[in-house]
Chain A
Amino acid sequence: MKAGGSWRRTADRVYALVSALLGSSALLFLFMVLAVLAVFGVPSIIVNGLNFFTTVIWNPGISTTLTTIRGFPAMSGASYGMLVFFSGTLISSGLALLIGAPLSLGVAIFLTSVAPKRLSTSLSFFVELLAGIPSVVFGFWGFLVLAPLLFNYVEPAMAQYLGFIPGVGGPVYGYGLLASGLVLSLMIVPIVSAISRDAMAQTPVELKEAGMALGMTNWEITRKVVLPYAKTAIIGSLVLGLGRALGETMAVVLVSQSALNVLPKTLYYPINTLSAFMAVTFDSALTDPSGMEVNAIAELALVLFIITTTANIVARLLVRRGFISSAEHLVQV
């Protein structure tokens, strides 16, 4: 019996150990990703230094001569600056948030306070369905439908009637910043509205009743009771959505016109983002004789990693259970 007892204890310990070990693959994955990007990024960090963060021009200088800079092979005429992609990432995601935030909030309020229960349930399903559509299909739709629509109708009208606002006038392109921002905003609506909806639905009934007792209208209760109650979760969900937009690749590739070496001057300009640029350029970077373009792309990936992770940490701090509830949503999708 003694042996039997210890065997059982061992079985439990082995189970705990094995499951902990397999769960640790999260650590292993993150470590591998970061380590390998760091290893490949280091030559670029050393060679390009601060210029990487302040330069607009990205030019691998393929036809120039191969030399050695600070101990690493590099092309003499190469220039690696991330400014176009970095600014494009922030601006397009910012625009997506600007459009997506009121939209998501409107959807969340509609689903919690306006729509009857049955309609709300089926509409929630459709909105969450939006989250399941592959981003490349979103991009394809943007490419086929949205960008031409913007080019032919929306942007010319905006340029004509709102052109006095800085950045809204000027030539239109269709494929560019506005199209990217719009597609990205559609992609963040499901997650933001789902978390906001849940946070709002959790407002204690007593609070709402107190509002009613004060003679507040339905809308006043939403604005003065429900929204303040859910405020932190809503902000957290927005930052979470921002994190998604920052990292999105394929949708942007298809509607942004992959700008190179030029910063956007208007709402319609072609743009590029960190991830979209990596996707489009990596194949040709592999042909760089010095190999430095691959290193520079690894550095771009590190920059993107830092941006999205910062957004995620901020979101986590804002919604204490944010990620759990977002995961719960995804489970319910």
Chain B
Amino acid sequence: MTGLTVFSIVLVLVPLADIIYLFVIKGLEVISWPALTTITVGTGVEFVGGGISNAISGTVVLMALATAITVPLGLLGGIYMAEFSNNNKFSEALRFVSDVLAGNSSMVVGLAGYFIFVLYFGWGYSALAGALTLSILMFPYVFRTTELALRKVPDDIREGARALGSTKSTTINRLTLRFAMPGILTGILLSVSIGLSETAPLLFTASFSNYNFNGSFLHTPVGFLTYIVYVYSQLPSNSAHNLAYLSSFVLITSILLINIVARVVVRRFSKV
């Protein structure tokens, strides 16, 4: 029986190791300063080459915008859940709705994002449409991890502050939030890595662009890394494949980095 369990862990680890090995090897082969700093040339139909700076800058802009939208919503929402809601019916409903959102296909959300932001609001394919769609997907993670992190702060700290005449607001802002911060930060990092991994919801909201982000958030398509992996992996030319390898490499290393940062944050701050 022990053999079978060893067999399953090997079966899981081998593909994982192969994925990491493949994209690290290929990524290191094709990585170069020009490839990271020049824009993509050509489209799917013709020869594709150049670099991925348009996708990197677009991804950075999309993620920054989506995080800036998600964090206040999720953070304050989580504060409500843990500190104010007293587990009332409304908060149970919110928790349920948030779980439904998190458990859904990102494609469904992406399609809705197209209808709402691109079409109905008339923003066209744009950074804002893409970022808002992403934040719908990222919200549940910040929301729930904030609640969980706050709930882990012992109640006698709240009692102690209350006995000193601290209002709920003051206790939250000066004490509870501070101690829940490692957990909250991990939640935010987690949501960023979720957003970074998404492809489908951006296809019809951000579209794609061969040009670097030009500062306009509306009516201008933006590039992103997962698009390059998705589309250029299926093109026949080597130069297109190389861009897909490079983008995979950049994605994997950034997500790995985020994971490591999250772990360090938890380790460092969990022992006050």
Contacts of B2 in A (CB 8 A): 114, 219
Looking at A58-66, A67-75, A131-139, A150-158, the stretch in contact with chain B turns out to be: A131-139
| In the complex, number of A-B residue pairs with CB atoms less than 8 Å apart | 273
- A136-192 interface (Cβ within 8 A of B): 136-141, 143-146, 186, 189
- Set A24, A25, A145, A323: member contacting B18, Cβ < 8 A: A145
- A1-52 interface (Cβ within 8 A of B): 8, 11-12, 15-16, 18-20, 22-27, 29-30, 32-33, 36-37, 39-40
Q: Does B174 contact A (CB under 8 A)?
A: no
Q: Are A26 and B183 in contact (CB under 8 A)?
A: no
> How far is A23 from B84 in the complex, measured between Cα atoms in Å?
11
- Set B19, B136, B196, B203: member contacting A279, Cβ < 8 A: B203
- B16-45 interface (Cβ within 8 A of A): 16, 18-19, 22-23
Q: Are A246 and B203 in contact (CB under 8 A)?
A: no
Residue of B with least CB distance to A246: B105
- Set B8, B15, B103: member contacting A107, Cβ < 8 A: B8
Q: Are A109 and B143 in contact (CB under 8 A)?
A: no
What's the nearest-Cβ distance from chain A to residue B85, in Å? Answer: 7
Q: Are B94 and A27 in contact (CB under 8 A)?
A: yes
Contacts of A331 in B (CB 8 A): 145, 148-149, 183, 186-187, 190, 266
Q: Are B105 and A134 in contact (CB under 8 A)?
A: no
- A97-116 interface (Cβ within 8 A of B): 102-107, 109-111, 113-115
Contact with A along B188-225 (1 / 0, CB 8 A): 00100100111110011000000000000000000000
- Set B73, B106, B115, B251: member contacting A249, Cβ < 8 A: B106
Looking at B50-58, B60-68, B227-235, the stretch in contact with chain A turns out to be: B227-235
- Set A11, A29, A134: member contacting B226, Cβ < 8 A: A134
> How far is A36 from B116 in the complex, measured between Cα atoms in Å?
7
What's the nearest-Cβ distance from chain A to residue B20, in Å? Answer: 8
Q: Does A275 contact B (CB under 8 A)?
A: yes
Contacts of A103 in B (CB 8 A): 8, 11-12
The secondary-structure label for the interface of chain B is helix
Contacts of A141 in B (CB 8 A): 15, 18-19, 22-23
Contacts of A219 in B (CB 8 A): 1-2
Contact with A along B68-111 (1 / 0, CB 8 A): 00001100111111011100001101111111111111111101
- Set A33, A113, A253: member contacting B112, Cβ < 8 A: A33
B contacts, CB < 8 Å to A: 1-2, 4-9, 11-13, 15-16, 18-19, 22-23, 72-73, 76-81, 83-85, 90-91, 93-109, 111-112, 114-116, 120, 136, 139-141, 143-145, 148-149, 167-169, 172, 183, 186-187, 190, 193, 196-200, 203-204, 226, 229-230, 233-234, 244, 248, 251-252, 255-256, 258-259, 262, 266
Query: What are 23 A-B interface contacts by the 8 Å CB criterion?
Result: A12-B167, A15-B168, A20-B80, A20-B85, A22-B72, A29-B139, A40-B115, A127-B9, A132-B197, A133-B197, A140-B244, A141-B18, A143-B233, A143-B234, A146-B15, A189-B12, A249-B200, A250-B200, A278-B107, A301-B107, A305-B104, A312-B104, A330-B190
A contacts, CB < 8 Å to B: 8, 11-12, 15-16, 18-20, 22-27, 29-30, 32-33, 36-37, 39-40, 102-107, 109-111, 113-115, 123, 126-127, 129-130, 132-141, 143-146, 186, 189, 193, 219, 222, 240, 243-244, 246-250, 253-254, 274-275, 278-279, 282-283, 297-298, 301, 304-305, 308-309, 311-312, 315-316, 323-324, 327-328, 330-333
Further 16 A-B residue pairs, CB within 8 A, beyond A134-B226, A278-B111, A301-B108: A15-B169, A30-B100, A32-B112, A37-B112, A105-B8, A114-B2, A123-B9, A127-B9, A127-B16, A132-B255, A134-B252, A143-B233, A249-B199, A327-B145, A328-B148, A330-B190
